[in-house]
Amino acid sequence: MSGTFVGMPAFPRAAREAVGNTTLRGNLRHATHTIRDKRARAVAELDDWAALREAGKQIKDHTLRHLDRYLVQVEEAVTAAGGTVHWAADADEANDIVARLVEETGESEVVKVKSMATQEIGLNEALQARGIHAYETDLAELIVQLGKDRPSHILVPAIHRNRGEIRDIFRSEMGEWGRPAPENLTDTPAELAEAARLHLREKFLRAKVGISGANFVVAETGTLVVVESEGNGRMCLTLPETLISVVGIEKIVPRWQDLEVFLQTLPRSSTAERMNPYTSMWTGTTDEDGPRTFHLVLLDNGRTDTLADEVGRQALRCIRCSACLNVCPVYERAGGHAYGSVYPGPIGAILSPQLRGTGSEIDASLPYASSLCGACYEVCPVAIDIPEVLVHLRERVVQGGPAVRGGNRVVLRPAKGHAAERAAMRAAQWAFTRPGALRTGQRLASRTRRLHPRTLPGPGRAWSGTRDLPAVPAEPFRDWWQRTHGGKGGAK
Partner 1 sequence: MSSRERILGRVRRALADVPADARPYEEAVAREYLREHGQRSVGETVDLLAENLADYRAIVHRTDEEELPLLIMRLLAQRGPQYVLVPPSLPPEWMSAADPTRVHDRAVSTPHELDRVESVVTGCAVAVAETGTIVLDGSPDQGRRRITLIPDHHICVVRVPDQVVSSVPEALERLDPARPLTWISGPSATSDIELDRVEGVHGPRTLEVVLLSGS
Contact 246, 104 (CB under 8 A): no
DSSP 450: G
Q: What share of the chain is helix, strand, coil (3-state, %, to 5)?
A: 55, 10, 35
State the binding partner of 382 from ligand SF4, partner 1, none, CB within 5 to 8 A by kind: ligand SF4
**Which residue among 3, 6, 23, 34 contacts partner 1 (CB under 8 A)?**
34
What is the sign, positive or negative, of the torsion defined by CA atoms of 297, 301, 305, 309? negative
Per CB under 6 A, does 322 bind ligand SF4?
yes
Residue whose CB is less far from partner 1, 106 or 487: 106
Which entry of ligand SF4, partner 1, none binds 46, CB below 5 to 8 A by partner kind? partner 1
Q: Find the binding residues for partner 1 in span 203-232 (CB under 8 A).
A: 204-206, 218, 221, 223, 229-232
DSSP state letters, 201-256: HHHHHH-SEEEE--SEEETTTTEEEEEESSSHHHHHHHSSSEEEEEEEGGGEES-G
What are the distances in angstroms from CA 238 to CA 233, 243, 477, 481?
8, 8, 51, 54
Q: Which of ligand SF4, partner 1, none sits in contact with 321, Cβ below 5 to 8 A by type?
A: ligand SF4
**Residue 325 near residue 157 (C-beta atoms within 8 A):** no
Rounded least distance, CB 139 to partner 1, Å: 4
Residue 384 interacting partner from partner 1, ligand SF4, none (CB closer than 5 to 8 Å by kind) = ligand SF4
Q: Which of 8, 113, 156, 382 binds ligand SF4 (CB under 6 A)?
A: 382
Q: What per-residue string of b and e applies to 223-253 under the rule 16 or more CB within 10 Å gives b?
A: bbbbbbbbebbbbbbbbbebbbbbbbbbbbb
C-alpha–C-alpha distance, residues 135 and 149, integer Å: 14
- Residue 296 is a binding residue for ligand SF4 (CB under 6 A): no
Contacts of 169 (CB under 8 A, 6+ apart): 143, 146, 147, 161
Query: Where does this chain touch ligand SF4 (CB under 6 A) — which range of 236-244, 375-383, 427-435, 484-492?
Result: 375-383
Residue 355 makes contact with ligand SF4 by CB under 6 A:
no
In angstroms and rounded to an integer, the radius of gyration of the C-alpha atoms of the chain is 22
d(CA 129, CA 126): 5
From the list 172-180, 315-323, 397-405, 474-482, the region that binds ligand SF4 by CB under 6 A is 315-323
3-class secondary structure, 487: coil
365 binds, among partner 1, ligand SF4, none (CB under 5 to 8 A by kind): none
Using the rule CB under 6 A, which residue among 384, 437, 444, 469 binds ligand SF4? 384
Is 116 a binding residue for partner 1 by CB under 8 A? The answer is: no
Scan residues 156-195 and list those touching partner 1 (CB under 8 A): 156-158, 162-163, 166, 189-190, 192-193
* Residue 158 touches which member of partner 1, ligand SF4, none, C-beta under 5-8 Å by kind: partner 1
Size of the site for ligand SF4 (CB under 6 A): 14
Given the complex with ligand SF4, which of 161 and 268 has the nearer CB atom? 268
Partner from partner 1, ligand SF4, none contacting 218, C-beta within 5 to 8 A by type: partner 1
> Pick from 95, 242, 269, 280: which binds partner 1 (CB under 8 A)?
280
**What is the Cα–Cα distance from 335 to 21, expressed in whole angstroms?**
10
Q: Does 58 bind partner 1 (CB under 8 A)?
A: yes
Distance CA 173, CA 178 (A): 9
Residue 319 site contact among partner 1, ligand SF4, none (CB < 5 to 8 Å, cut-off depends on kind): ligand SF4
Q: Which of 133, 107, 132 is nearest to 293 (CA)?
A: 107
Nearer CB in complex with partner 1: 27/124: 27
**Sheet of 209-212, strands arranged across:** 84-88, 293-299, 242-248, 209-212, 109-112, 133-136
Applying CB under 8 A, which part among 6-14, 17-25, 274-282, 342-350 lies near partner 1? Answer: 274-282
- Residue 380 touches which member of ligand SF4, partner 1, none, C-beta under 5-8 Å by kind: ligand SF4
SS3 label, residue 7: coil
Contact residues: ligand SF4, CB under 6 A: 269, 318-324, 347, 379-382, 384
